[in-house]
Amino acid sequence: MPRWRALSSSDQPLGPTQRWRLDIAYDGAAFSGFAYQPQFTTVIGVLRSTLASTLHLEKEPTLVGAGRTDAGVHAFAQVVHVDLPTTLFKNQRGPDPQRLARSLNKQLRGRVRILRAMPVGDDFHARFSATWREYRYLVLETTPPALALSNAWSWAVQGPLDIAAMNGAASECLGTHDFRAFCRRPTNAPAGEPLRRLVLSAHWERLADTFSLSPANDVVLRLDIRAQSFCHNMVRCLVSSMVAVGQGKIAENTVKERLSSLERDHLPPPAPAAGLSLVGVGYSEFAGGPSSFVR
């Protein structure tokens, strides 16, 4: 492991810092969510402790993410920022992003993967500098019972599904709407406060199983949805309603009607977390450009 200069308690909080952007990926099944919770294993908690141990910091640093993912939700291109003391690089010609990424990945042992590490300006903010986020949801169109393995990466539902009707419902989400019917309100938010979000794109696609991952020739349906930001459980609530549309259990105009009425009563519960992945976060080129998984 590279030798990083250890910091004393006196110079750590007071010395100059360099802000770093880290693009990361993780399997959400291993974590109790993204946000730091001392009593649980979370993505931020593992990153904090790994940074502290790898870089010989006496205190765990504070990390800020582009957005929070729930327990069980995966990420292929999440972004966080962290301020690291410049004294770590005192004996180097300057910050070495590849060296930092290698050192962290060695200690993380695959729990979280550092895709990219780069120094950025102090005005970069993983959350507030982001211009969009993109999520992907996978639905396995199958005949129950589904193989248990599929539940680790998708939501197995009984087909056939009417993908044209599902795309009709998805199109109703485009633009700015109050998504109160499809979000879980934060505990500290007033009951009547709107939850307005701008959705930039939303589209379902039926995919061939080119890798023969399904022993029963099941079909995968993929939703890609991009928005300026999302409220809590928004994608999973939309997915469950769109799947119900595809199964003919609720009318195709249900999403449009509930965006207008703001009522959630009698809608399906949120889709399972395992089918959901954060696949991209948008930034300007001055901030390093978007995270890299979006295709």
Residues annotated catalytic, as ranges: 70
Query: DSSP of the chain, one letter per residue?
Result: ---PPP--TTTTTTS-EEEEEEEEEE-GGGSS-SS--TTS--HHHHHHHHHHHHTT-SSPPPEEESS---TT-EEEEEEEEEEEEGGGGTTSSS--HHHHHHHHHHHHTTSEEEEEEEEE-TT--TTTT--EEEEEEEEEEE-SSPPGGGGGTSEEEES---HHHHHHHHHTT-EEEE-GGGSPPPTTS-TT---EEEEEEEEEEEE--TT---TT--EEEEEEEEES---TTHHHHHHHHHHHHHTTSS-TTHHHHHHHH---TTPPPPPPGGGEEEEEEE--GGGT-S-TT--
Q: Which residues pair with 75 in a beta bridge?
A: 26, 278
| Residues 6+ away with beta carbon under 8 Å from 237 | 181, 182, 183, 184, 264, 267, 270, 271
Give the amino acid at 230: F
Q: What tokens were used for 185?
A: 């309100």
Q: What tokens were used for 57?
A: 């910091």
Alpha-carbon gap, residue 264 to 258, rounded angstroms? 7
